[in-house]
Structure 1
Amino acid sequence: MRYSILLFILISNLAHAGVDLVKVDKSESKMFLLDGEFVVKEYHVAFGANPKGHKKQEGDEKTPEGTYTLDYKKEDSSFYRAMHINYPNEIDKANAKKLGVSPGGFIMIHGQRNNLGWLSVITQRFNWTNGCIALTNREMDEFMKLVNVGTEIQIYW
């Protein structure tokens, strides 16, 4: 009985939790959804094939580092659902211009490649994106319910 009550309270709190910050620790392959100081949810995530360091140019297979905003949801992606990260920001564009390269873009949090969700047991064990942050499809559904457009995301090593 006591376990049932605690489980009910936990589920109720999760359902009503407001995520106001997403933190991504690239060194641990973890994403944390936060409501203030409270961790609402933690996920194991996959990144670009070359995850260490900040994204500087298109094709470097790095996931950006820094503070960004999740600025829109995309349901018609090549991957199972997606939410866009507003990379490149003005600083990223200026740095790429100094280097004479394109900063790249279209960095998303997304699920698995369409029709291949069943492979997530394998794909989530290594970094396979071109710089995006990947979840399983089930986790992506949950992420989309918990995180609103306009939420800040902090990505760091």
Structure 2
Amino acid sequence: MIRYVLVALLAVALVALSIPAIDHAAAVSTERQFQSDLAAIDDAAVSLLENEEPTPDGVPAPRRTVSLPFPDDSLTSTPVEYLRIERIHETGSLATFAATGRSEHQHPIDAPIVHADPHENETVELGGVGEHRTLTLTVERDERDEPVVVASQ
């Protein structure tokens, strides 16, 4: 009988010790997946700038779409609290995201990305635990008549 009690106590202790490792693995997995998603945004934005030209008013702008999952909390994933894409200069942007309970991660993007209006320099902000977001990227001209990638949902 004592053996069964010891086995049960040992099993409970092993499970209790493994929970932090499982949480860490889920967070690392989510961060790695989100880095991959940001690389897809980078690729789409750079493709637009290198292969497309902004169109005149009234003509649909060239576009690319990128799907971004914002996972729920589970054994294999940790929620991503936010994603911000900020234009930092004429030729690039910086994406910043953080998974719940983790530090921020930054990913450079080799294209100027702004939110909704090419004449404003607004930051793209996304979030929503358990939601699937589609980001539409178009190439348009900014106030200096330079091509810029405009992100909208």
TM-score past 0.5 threshold? no
The structure with the largest helix share of the pair is 2
**Greater RCO (Cα-Cα under 8 Å, separation 6 or more):** 1
The structure with the largest strand share of the pair is 2
TM-score, normalised via structure 1 length? 0.29
TM-score, normalised via structure 2 length? 0.29
Structure with the greater alpha carbon radius of gyration: 2
